[in-house]
């Protein structure tokens, strides 16, 4: 966790997710960032989330970690050695108001504990990722199911675009987008993030009044 530098997030990277929120489907990668203070590990702990700012939505995602400074022409396997799963928590009501005003999303996306992440595992390669689903269980029920095959912009496109416009290097992580099925969190919901059949991390969400 201490070695993570920048947190990039890809928005609307699954068509059905964009449609479920009535958002326009992007023609190029759509990125935003989170501060590192948003990071918290899904290691069975209770995770505190704001309960007094409207609806808090879960968005499960595949997360890749950049292992070295990027140079043009590098392939995914050249720069990614580890991956994990994560949740991009979003204050949905706050985000809706920010959209209406044409303002940045940081207040809705960057609050403490908004970037949940599991332990990192070895990156199996692009092709193996396409053969493996990831899922989110909420209180034992599968609420999201994703696969990189369904991404609008694949991992190579995401890396190239991010490097070109922002720069990427060792220690950066990228949340690669969430599939359909996002929804509101209730107090004491238990979440588990699953890669194939393996649970990579879990936690209980606690809505408080900070």
Give the residue ranges of the chain where pLDDT is below 50.
none
Q: What are 151's two structure tokens?
A: 């991404």
DSSP state of 151: B
State the pLDDT at residue 62.
Answer: 98
State the pLDDT at residue 210.
Answer: 58
Give the count of beta carbons closer than 10 Å to the beta carbon of residue 5: 12
Give the predicted TM-score (pTM) of the model. Answer: 0.95
Residue 111 makes CB contacts below 8 A (sequence gap 6+) with: 38, 50, 89, 91
Tens digit of pLDDT for each residue in 5-55? 999 999 889 976 656 666 677 889 999 999 999 999 999 999 999 999 999
Average pLDDT across the chain, whole number: 94
Nearest to 54 by CA among 135, 111, 117, 116: 111
Rounded to whole angstroms, the Cα distance separating 155 from 160 reads 9
């Amino acid at each position: 966790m201490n070695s993570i530098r920048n947190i990039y997030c890809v928005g609307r990277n699954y068509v059905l997710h964009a449609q479920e929120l009535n958002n326009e489907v992007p023609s190029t990668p759509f990125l935003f960032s989170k501060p590192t203070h948003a990071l918290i590990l899904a290691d069975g702990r209770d995770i505190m989330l704001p309960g007094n700012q409207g609806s808090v939505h879960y968005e499960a995602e595949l997360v890749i970690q950049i292992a070295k400074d990027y140079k043009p022409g590098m392939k995914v396997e050249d720069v990614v050695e580890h991956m994990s799963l994560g949740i991009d928590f979003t204050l949905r009501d706050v985000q809706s108001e920010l959209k209406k005003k044409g303002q940045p999303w940081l207040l809705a996306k960057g609050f403490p504990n908004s970037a949940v992440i599991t332990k990192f595992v070895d990156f199996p390669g692009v092709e193996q990722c396409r053969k493996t689903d990831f899922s989110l269980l909420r209180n034992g029920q599968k609420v999201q199911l994703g696969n990189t095959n369904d991404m609008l912009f694949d991992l190579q496109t995401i890396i190239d675009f991010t490097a070109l416009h922002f720069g990427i290097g060792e220690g950066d992580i990228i949340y690669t987008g969430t599939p359909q099925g996002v929804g509101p969190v209730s107090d004491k919901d238990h979440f588990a993030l699953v890669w194939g059949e393996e649970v990579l991390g879990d936690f209980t969400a606690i809505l408080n009044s900070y």
